[in-house]
Structures are given as C-alpha cells and as structure tokens.
Structure 1
Amino acid sequence: MLLPIIGLILGAVLGAALARRRGGGRADMAQWAAVWAIILALAGVVITVAVLRG
C-alpha cells in the first residue's frame, strides 16, 4: 500500500511548514521535515500492517 509513502511526503511538507511558521532557518526546516516524515511514515507502516493483518 502507498500509505507509508504518502505519510513520508506529507510529513516532510508539514514539518517544513511548521518550522517556517516558527521562524526557523533552512537547517531547522530540514530537521523538522525529516523528523515529521519519519513519524508519519512509521504511522503509515503501522496502519498498513494493522489493515493487512486484520
């Protein structure tokens, strides 16, 4: 399923937007994007596994 990939992209965009709104520089936006991408990608993996096992 594509849920982890969608979570990865959505997380990166969301993280960069949050960092920019808080006045962060490029490094802050990159770090926030990476962290949020990982979080939402892992959430997508967990949801995918739960759906496929259920």
Structure 2
Amino acid sequence: MILPLTGLLIGAILGAWRARRHGGGAADMAQWGAAHGVALGVVGLFLLLLVSRLAG
C-alpha cells in the first residue's frame, strides 16, 4: 500500500519543483504537482500489483 502513496508524494513534489523552475505561480505548481502525482501514483500502483503477484 505504500508504493502508490510514495509515488503520489514524490510526483507532487517533483511536479511543483518543475513548475517553479519554469517560473510558474502557485496555480501552476498545484496543477503540475497534481498531474505528476497522479502519474507516479499509477506507476506505484502497478508496481504494487506486480510485487504482490510475484510474491505469491
């Protein structure tokens, strides 16, 4: 259960950092953070499913 949450958190931080680096305001940081968070959260979910399937 921790992999999707970790992906969400890392994605949100990464997205906000990238938006700030490109000169974006608070709304841009929120939007980029949400988009990156969802994307990495889905990746984390698939990793969790893969690990749980392989672990038996």
Q: Which TM bucket (shorter chain)?
A: over 0.9
The higher radius of gyration belongs to 2
SS state at 2:32 partner: helix
Q: TM-score, normalised by structure 2?
A: 0.92
Runs of 5+ unmatched residues, structure 2:
none
Aligned equivalent of 1:41: 41
Aligned equivalent of 1:22: 22
Structure 2: distance between partners of 1:2 and 1:27: 28
State the identity %.
Answer: 50
Aligned equivalent of 1:53: 53
- When the two chains are superposed, the root-mean-square deviation of aligned CA atoms in Å is 0.6
Aligned equivalent of 2:4: 4
Runs of 5+ unmatched residues, structure 1:
none
Structure 1: distance between partners of 2:25 and 2:33: 12
**Equivalent pairs, count:** 54
